Amino acid sequence: MSIFIGVIGNCYFDEIYRIDKFPAPDDKITALDMNVSLGGSATNVSAGLSKLGLYPRLISAIGNDTAGKNITDELKERRIDSSYLTKMRGQTGRTIILLDENKSSTKIGYPGVCEDLKKALKFTKSMDETFDIIHMASIRIDTAEMVINNNFSRQFTLDFGARTLEATDEEIFEFLSKIDLAFFNRNVFKRLYPNTTLEIKNIEKIDFPCNIVITAGSEGIYAKIDGKTYFQPIFPVKAVDTTGAGDAAAAVILWGYINKKDWELIIKYAAAAAALKLKTFGASNGHPSIEQIEKFIK
C-alpha cells in the first residue's frame, strides 16, 4: 500500500563554512572548508524519509532563479517529489551557517520566497489532494492552521521552529490540541513549561495537548505517546556537523509513526539516525537508511 506523506516548510540552499574562530568587527577570516547543500527543515526531513524508503512530497516555494532550478534537479535525484513546489517571482532562500571548532553552528537565514509560504500554498496542486499524513516543518501557526482547516490530510504533525514560536503560548497550546504529534527541542519545552525541568518524572506528570517527542541534544530523546513516557540516550559519536541532526531524527520518527512501529524502537532508531547524521557535512546529506541504522546499533 502506498503512503502519501506531504512535508510542508522551507526549501532552499545551505552554505556551510567551517571556521576556527569568529571574525572581529571589520575583520576578515578564511574559512577552513565549505559545503553547499539542500537546506530547510522540510527539505532535510524529506531527504531523510527518502533514504528510509518512502517517497515524500515536498510542499514549498522556490524562486524563479537558477537556485530554484538547481533545487528541483537535486530533489529528483534524491527521490523526492518536486512537483508540489510552487515557483514564485523572486529569490530562492538561503542560509549561511558558520560552524566553529566546537561543532556548534551560528546561522543567518534569508527565506526568500518562502517568507510568504501561506501564499505559495494557495497555488500548489497539493491542495487538491488528500495525504495520509502531513508533516509541517518549522512553519508559522497561522500557516499550519490553514493547512489543517482545509482537511488536506488524515493526520498532522508539527516540528517547532523559530517561526512557529512567533505565536503566543495560548495560540500554540490551542493549535497543539488539533494535531496528532508535535516535535519539541529543549528550548521549546522551556518556553512552554518554564517551571518544569526536562526529566522523565516531570514529563510523566504533564498532560500534553497531543503526542510529544522532545529532542534534547546531548541528553537524548524523550517522548510521551498515548500517555506512556519513553526516553532514549544519545549514541556518542565524533561530530563533524550538527546541522540537520534533529531533522534526521524526525524523519525516522515519522517513518516509525507511519508504519506503526513500537515507540521504544522508534526513538532508538531516531537517536541512531541523528548520531550517523552528525558525521556528515550538510543538513540534507548523510541521512541513513534503515539498514545503516540497524548496522550501527549492532
129 pLDDT band (50/70/90 cuts)?
low
Order of all β-strands in the sheet with 156-159: 85-88, 57-63, 5-9, 133-137, 156-159, 181-185, 211-215, 221-225, 228-232
Neighbour-count burial for 278-289, b at 16+ CB within 10 Å, e otherwise = bebbbbbbbbbe
pLDDT of residue 63: 94
pLDDT tens track for 60-88: 999 999 999 999 999 999 999 998 899 99
pLDDT of residue 80: 95
pLDDT tens track for 6-56: 999 999 998 989 899 888 899 999 999 888 889 999 999 999 999 999 999
**% the chain with pLDDT above 90:** 69
pLDDT of residue 151: 66
Is 285 a residue whose pLDDT tops 90?
no
Is 281 a residue whose pLDDT tops 90?
no
220 pLDDT band (50/70/90 cuts)?
very high
pLDDT of residue 107: 86
Between CA 72 and CA 197 the distance in angstroms is 43
Is 162 a residue whose pLDDT tops 90?
no
pLDDT of residue 202: 97
Mean pLDDT confidence for 103-120: 83
Mean pLDDT confidence for 1-5: 76
124 pLDDT band (50/70/90 cuts)?
low
Q: Domain coordinates of the chain in residue numbers?
A: 5-22+31-291
Neighbour-count burial for 159-181, b at 16+ CB within 10 Å, e otherwise = bbbebbbebeeeebeebbeebeb
3-state secondary structure the chain: CCCCEEEEECCEEEEEEECCCCCCCCCCCCCCEEEEEEECHHHHHHHHHHHCCCCCEEEEEEECCHHHHHHHHHHHHCCCECCCEEEECCCEEEEEEEECCCCCEEEEEEEEHHHHHHHHHCCCHHHHCCECEEEEECCCHHHHHHHHHCCCECCEEEECCCCHHHCCHHHHHHHHCCCCEEEEEHHHHHHHCCCCCCCHHHHHHCCCCCEEEEECHHHCEEEEECCEEEEECCCCCCCCCCCCHHHHHHHHHHHHHHCCCCHHHHHHHHHHHHHHHCCCCCCCCCCCCHHHHHHHHC
Is 116 a residue whose pLDDT tops 90?
no
Mean pLDDT confidence for 265-282: 93
Most confident of 18-22, 117-121, 253-257, 283-287: 253-257
pLDDT tens track for 181-194: 999 999 999 999 99
Q: In terms of Cα–Cα distance, which of 195, 239, 232 is closest to 213?
A: 232
**% the chain with pLDDT above 70:** 95
pLDDT of residue 132: 87
**What are the two backbone dihedrals, phi and then psi, of residue 146, each rounded to the nearest 5 degrees?**
-60, -40
In this prediction the pTM is 0.91
Q: Are 9 and 160 in contact (CB under 8 A)?
A: no
pLDDT of residue 112: 92
Q: Say which CATH superfamily domain 5-22+31-291 falls into.
A: Ribokinase (3.40.1190.20)
pLDDT tens track for 224-269: 999 999 999 999 998 887 878 999 999 999 999 999 999 999 999 9
pLDDT tens track for 88-102: 999 999 999 888 877
- Please give the distance of CA 82 from its chain centroid, rounded to a whole number: 17
pLDDT of residue 125: 53
